[in-house]
Structure 1
Amino acid sequence: MKFKVSVFIFLLGLTGIGLFWRADISPYVTLLAQRPCACDRCLSEGDSLFQQRFSKFDEPFLSANYNLSEDNFNWWKRLQGEVRSLTAYRETVERIFQLVPATAHVEASSPGRCRTCAVVGNSGNLMNSHYGPLIDFQDVVIRMNTGRTKGYEADVGAKTTHHIAYPESAVDLENNTRLVLFPFKILDLDWVTKALTTGFTGSSYLPVKSNIKANKDLVMVLNPAFMRYVHDVWLQKKGKYPSTGFMTLVLALHICDEVHVFGFGADSDGNWSHYWEQLRDKKLKTGVHSGGEEYNMIAELSKHQILKFYTGW
């Protein structure tokens, strides 16, 4: 008899828990399931500043089936004085996708997870910052150009999932790191195919690596139309075209749920000196890019808690 009473009490308890769940908890579970991510705040839930600048750019990366418009091509070809035609561009792109995946791998948002990204610039303000562990803690760690980690792990971390580069800034990568090509001219597109196979023999305004160590199955190519979108919408056409760093930051806002930004900002001379070296040209500033406009936008996005900006010194 005591056993039956115990079983009855147990079943009654389960019934009570079920009723409590249905009445008090299930609405919250449903609400969470409707959110685009599991972060405290998802980027798509941004405020008016974010919504003014952000538009869901469906294809930030090139794919085998993407057809760049003539208008966007004509804008892009002026960035570094390209003289070849749209036909030459399309033929070069076609050769790329005979070597690398036809579509870039981008993980979609999910209510069940929070995709966190670290965008790591190369500013000298990373020195003695001790940001390394925080950077490595993020799901995606994006570095760029000749940014290095060896010997600087305490301040910049050691993990790299995506590395942004163009021919003049390319470095050898680990086999599990994605090479993300930012093309500014047809030569850049031609370079990535040959540097991963037979070797590149052309020339540019700076020396270019003939071969590069990178996993061809992880290569991604930024869409030139995305470059124009960043320039026209995010920077309101300030500067000749956006810097690699700022385009990387906006790209992160499109492929991540939560963005942490490190290593952006000028030194006391107004130059963006690197954490591993001082720039020799003290008059360089930010070159053809609107560094002040870009930095102000990053600071404003941080103020609105759209991203988390770590300023170092």
Structure 2
Amino acid sequence: MNYFKLRTLVIVLIFLMISFIFTYVYTNGNYLRLPSDPNHMQILPMKAYIDNSHQFIYVNKSDKHQEFLIVNKENSPEKHENLNIPNKNEIPIDGAAHISNQQELKEPVLTQNQVNKEEQHVETWKDTNHLHVGVKTEENVAISLPKSTPARPCNRLWVKGRSKWFDQRFDGTISSIWTRDNIKQTSAINNWWLGIQSSKNKDVLGVMNSVFTMIPDVDVYKDRSKCRRCAVVGNSGNLKGSSYGAEIDAHDMVIRMNEAPLGGFEKDVGYRETHRLMYPESYYNIKQDVHFVLVSFKTLDVEWLMSAMTTGTIKRTWRPVKNLINVNASLVQIYNPALMKHTHEVWNKKQGRYPSTGLLAVMFALHACDEVDVYGYGANKIGNWDHYWQNDGGKGNSAFRKTGVHNSGVESQIYQQLNAEGIVKVHMGNAHR
């Protein structure tokens, strides 16, 4: 092979390599990427829409742009995005970026990526509801931007005058958590709390001073400048098939309790949690961004908390407990015994030995939140009190109904009356079907 043939071959090979690289970059490069799922706005090139998961339906055409309805074939037809795009092919947009959902925007927000194409500016912009691509003019921007809607008013449950029944029972001066400000409880509160489970250590003040060297000692719920909307999620079997998950997760605070699992039940109970109320015997592993609210019934419970966060020496209360726990100390709180006693005497009218964790969770929310939705409380659709994770056909009854420690009948009446008075909204799941 002579020199000229070799040179020609090399040139051809280089040309083929350049062509391959150009084709690869053109197919997989930095192009306009649209959300594949309206809820999660995942990045996908438009080619993936056309070839795999979506169908395009023209709904409007004009000289400057064509309006499409994009429907995800794999999900519900209701899940769709309105988009203005020049054509169905991939459009090279220099510096195209992932555009994510922006929730609760007070004013429309525009983001732009511009490219000069045949002396025209092809742009992408996003307002609160839509993603647009095309030749942006004053006319189509004005059309695309929805009018800003006022924020939903906050129906603060603690404002007096909404319910005489509620006003007679609710005491807004009681904090939901134990803090440095209320570290010295009255003797009446201390004596009642120490007697719940026969505390041996009577030095409440000493124990609390010790624990406040490890966890926050301030009331973070005093600030009511912003509306705090909360979901309290119980463990009832009436959550099965409820599809409440997304609704629950939309709240500012999601309060759960005890050993309720989330994995595998997200559609009905959600996947988010900001707070979990537990006592030592019901401890359940939580993530580092979740508040652990210790519901303590004795000084030993607080001592267990300090031990479980450090040395692990306490392994038993009245039964074996986890001796070590992995929690974010800055998010650990302790339920206020004053609120516990108030709940028992004023709300429960001293029925049962002391309130259930479920009722205490609702009271925690009433004192920490502005609006409260309650899920997973009460009986299931066949009248039994099972848990949503139990595979018993709903026929089982939890210990809540068996031990007599808590009066489930009285507590159920409290939830029903709170709902009837418009203070909270109780969602009964499959029990309403």
Tell me the TM-score normalised to structure 2 length: 0.60
Is the CA contact 1:123–1:266 (under 8 Å) kept in the aligned structure 2?
yes
* Deviations 1:67-88, CA, capped at 9 Å, x for gaps: 0122111111221122332xx2
- Percent identity, aligned pairs only? 39
Q: Identify which of 198, 205, 209 aligns with 1:94.
A: 209
Is the CA contact 1:180–1:221 (under 8 Å) kept in the aligned structure 2?
yes
In the alignment, what sits opposite 1:304?
A: 421
- How far apart, in 1, do the equivalents of 2:353 and 2:245 lie? 33
Q: Is 1:213 aligned with 2:329?
A: no
The structure, 1 or 2, with the larger RCO (C-alpha pairs under 8 Å, 6+ apart) is 1
* Mean Cα deviation higher: 186-195 or 54-63: 54-63
Query: Is the strand fraction higher in 1 or 2?
Result: 2
Q: Is 1:261 aligned with 2:377?
A: no
- How far apart, in 2, do the equivalents of 1:188 and 1:283 lie? 21
In the TM superposition, what are the counterparts of 1:152-163 in structure 2 within 5 Å?
152-163=265-276
Is the CA contact 1:123–1:264 (under 8 Å) kept in the aligned structure 2?
yes
Inter-CA distance 101–232: structure 2 relative to 1 (3 Å threshold):
same
Q: Is 1:55 aligned with 2:163?
A: no
Inter-CA distance 270–210: structure 2 relative to 1 (3 Å threshold):
farther
| Alpha-carbon distance, 1:269 to partner | 8.3
* Deviations 1:138-157, CA, capped at 9 Å, x for gaps: 00000000011111000000
Q: Is 1:232 aligned with 2:345?
A: yes
Q: Is 1:204 aligned with 2:317?
A: yes
Read off the aligned partner of 1:245 and give its amino acid letter. G
Q: Secondary structure at the match of 1:119?
A: strand
* Deviations 1:91-110, CA, capped at 9 Å, x for gaps: 21111111111224225222
- How far apart, in 2, do the equivalents of 1:284 and 1:120 lie? 18
In the TM superposition, what are the counterparts of 1:1-313 in structure 2 within 5 Å?
38-40=153-155, 42-45=157-160, 46-65=162-181, 66-85=183-202, 88-106=203-221, 108-110=223-225, 113-267=226-380, 272-277=385-390, 284-285=401-402, 287-313=404-430
| Alpha-carbon distance, 1:186 to partner | 1.0
| Alpha-carbon distance, 1:282 to partner | 7.5
| Alpha-carbon distance, 1:64 to partner | 2.8
- How far apart, in 2, do the equivalents of 1:245 and 1:145 lie? 9
Is the CA contact 1:271–1:285 (under 8 Å) kept in the aligned structure 2?
no
Q: Secondary structure at the match of 1:118?
A: strand
Is the CA contact 1:231–1:237 (under 8 Å) kept in the aligned structure 2?
yes
Inter-CA distance 76–120: structure 2 relative to 1 (3 Å threshold):
same
Is the CA contact 1:271–1:284 (under 8 Å) kept in the aligned structure 2?
no
| Alpha-carbon distance, 1:61 to partner | 1.3
Is the CA contact 1:167–1:208 (under 8 Å) kept in the aligned structure 2?
yes
In the alignment, what sits opposite 1:8?
A: none
- How far apart, in 2, do the equivalents of 1:283 and 1:101 lie? 32
* Deviations 1:90-141, CA, capped at 9 Å, x for gaps: 221111111111224225222xx42100000011111111000010000000
Read off the aligned partner of 1:248 and give its amino acid letter. A
Tell me the TM-score normalised to structure 1 length: 0.82
Q: Secondary structure at the match of 2:429?
A: coil
Read off the aligned partner of 1:146 and give its amino acid letter. E
| Gaps in structure 2 of 5+ consecutive residues | 1-151
| Gaps in structure 1 of 5+ consecutive residues | 1-36
Read off the aligned partner of 2:171 and give its amino acid letter. S
Name which one, 1 or 2, has greater alpha-carbon Rg.
2
- How far apart, in 1, do the equivalents of 2:293 and 2:261 lie? 16
Q: Secondary structure at the match of 1:53?
A: coil
Q: Secondary structure at the match of 2:323?
A: coil
Question: Alignment RMSD, CA only?
Answer: 2.2
Is the CA contact 2:230–2:253 (under 8 Å) kept in the aligned structure 1?
yes
Inter-CA distance 42–152: structure 2 relative to 1 (3 Å threshold):
same
In the alignment, what sits opposite 1:24?
A: none
Aligned residues: 274
- How far apart, in 2, do the equivalents of 1:97 and 1:275 lie? 36
